[in-house]
């Protein structure tokens, strides 16, 4: 047997772990290689080149961009500093605001007079669970007000938007939450 023939025994000794380079379609354009790969007949020979690759640089395990400095991959300290500062700013921004629950779906918040209807008053409810964002410095919800044009004119469809709950917020625009009719 020749030197390269495999005789069934696993070779003992060092194993070459150098990455291999495989090039398909040497001398073909990309479009030609794609066209050949899409044909139903697989009898066209595609040139293949098998070579060896020498590792030029090993990239550090980092999400930051690297630059080559005398053949060594180096993380740019300026990029790291900017990324860390951005992370601090985002964390600060998230700490500046809090989410507060206002009402649950179906909570009756008020009632309003009805003109020319079967009922003289209509209950105003929150159509879904509702939360708002407040500045972290605003510890409690301020006194809210309900705005509507009244009296409400009958007929009023079930679930129709008939009023707004307005909640003043420090450092932010007032929060407006739709209130709907509970019954027809």
SS (H, E, C) 22-77: EEECCCCCHHHHHHHHHCCCCCCCCCEEEEECCCCCCCCCCCCCEEEECCEEEECH
How far is Cα of residue 94 from the mean position of the Cα atoms in its chain?
16
Do 156 and 125 have their domain in common? yes
In this prediction the pTM is 0.51
Do 119 and 89 have their domain in common? no
pLDDT in tens, 1-13: 445 554 545 444 4
Parent domain of 46 = 17-55
Do 79 and 107 have their domain in common? no
| Residue 2 included in any domain | no
Do 151 and 121 have their domain in common? yes
Q: What does the longest C-alpha to C-alpha distance in the chain come to?
A: 107
- 125: CATH: 2.60.410.10
| Residue 6 included in any domain | no
Do 69 and 127 have their domain in common? no
What is the total count of domains within the chain? 3
pLDDT in tens, 73-112: 777 788 888 888 998 999 888 888 888 888 999 999 999 9
Do 140 and 163 have their domain in common? yes
Do 107 and 175 have their domain in common? yes
In this structure, are residues 179 and 144 in contact, taking their beta carbons and an 8 Å threshold? no
| Residue 4 included in any domain | no
């Amino acid at each position: 047997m020749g030197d390269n023939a495999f005789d069934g025994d696993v070779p003992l000794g060092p194993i070459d772990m150098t990455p291999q380079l495989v090039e398909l379609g040497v001398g073909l354009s990309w479009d030609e290689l794609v066209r050949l790969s899409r044909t139903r007949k697989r009898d066209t020979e595609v040139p293949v080149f098998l070579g060896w690759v020498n590792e030029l640089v090993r990239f550090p395990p980092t999400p930051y961009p690297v630059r080559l400095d005398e053949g060594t991959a180096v993380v740019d300290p300026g990029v790291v500093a900017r990324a860390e500062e951005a992370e601090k700013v985002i964390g600060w921004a998230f700490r500046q605001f809090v989410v507060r629950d206002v009402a649950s779906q179906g909570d009756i918040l008020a009632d309003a007079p009805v003109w020319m209807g079967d009922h003289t008053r209509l209950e105003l409810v929150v159509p879904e669970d509702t939360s708002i964002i407040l500045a972290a410095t605003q510890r409690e919800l301020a006194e809210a007000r309900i705005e509507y044009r009244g009296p409400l004119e009958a007929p009023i469809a079930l679930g129709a938007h008939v009023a707004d709950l307005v909640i003043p917020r420090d450092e932010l625009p007032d929060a407006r939450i739709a209130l709907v009719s509970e019954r027809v």
